[in-house]
């Protein structure tokens, strides 16, 4: 049975870019913050087990929704180490839709408004 939450998650952007059932956790350092519409985006440098680095694009809801969830334009800055948990990008893209964000051991932020 579908709920309003399932319908909201079926937004065209999410459905075309991310896997609803596949989750990933990445740890890295923020290289760029794009705090603007339509979706806030972080570029994160992730070091793989073999030592190679790769850039991941981490996206979330628009900037008007984030302050009431504990995330404002100054919350994340380039150079910040963080851990992200979210939905994996489709087709092997190094992309994640942020469900949970933790900075330097602080309490997690849930940008989509709920704990996973």
- Which CATH number fits the domain that encloses residue 76? 2.40.50.140
Q: What is the pLDDT of residue 30?
A: 98
Q: Please give the tally of structural domains in the chain.
A: 1
Q: What is this structure's pTM?
A: 0.83
Domain that holds residue 29: 4-103
Residue 116 located in a structural domain = no
- Ramachandran class of 44: left when φ > 0, alpha when ψ lies in -120 to 50, beta otherwise: beta
Residue 14 located in a structural domain = yes
Q: What is the mean pLDDT of each run of 10 residues along the chain (116 residues)?
A: 42 76 95 94 96 96 91 95 95 93 88 72
Residue 109 located in a structural domain = no
Residue 78 located in a structural domain = yes
- What angle (nearest 5°) sits at the alpha carbon of residue 10, between those of residues 6 and 12? 165
Residue 44 located in a structural domain = yes
């Amino acid at each position: 049975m579908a709920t309003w939450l399932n319908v909201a998650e079926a937004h065209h952007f999410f459905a075309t870019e991310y896997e609803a059932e596949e989750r990933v956790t990445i740890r890295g350092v923020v290289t760029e913050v794009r705090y603007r519409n339509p979706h806030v985006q972080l570029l994160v440098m992730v070091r793989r087990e073999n030592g190679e680095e790769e850039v991941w694009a981490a996206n979330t809801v628009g900037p008007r929704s984030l302050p009431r969830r504990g995330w404002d334009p100054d919350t994340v800055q380039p150079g910040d180490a963080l851990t992200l948990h979210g939905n994996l990008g489709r087709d092997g893209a190094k992309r994640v839709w942020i469900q949970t964000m933790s900075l330097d051991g602080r309490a997690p932020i849930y940008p989509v408004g709920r704990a996973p």
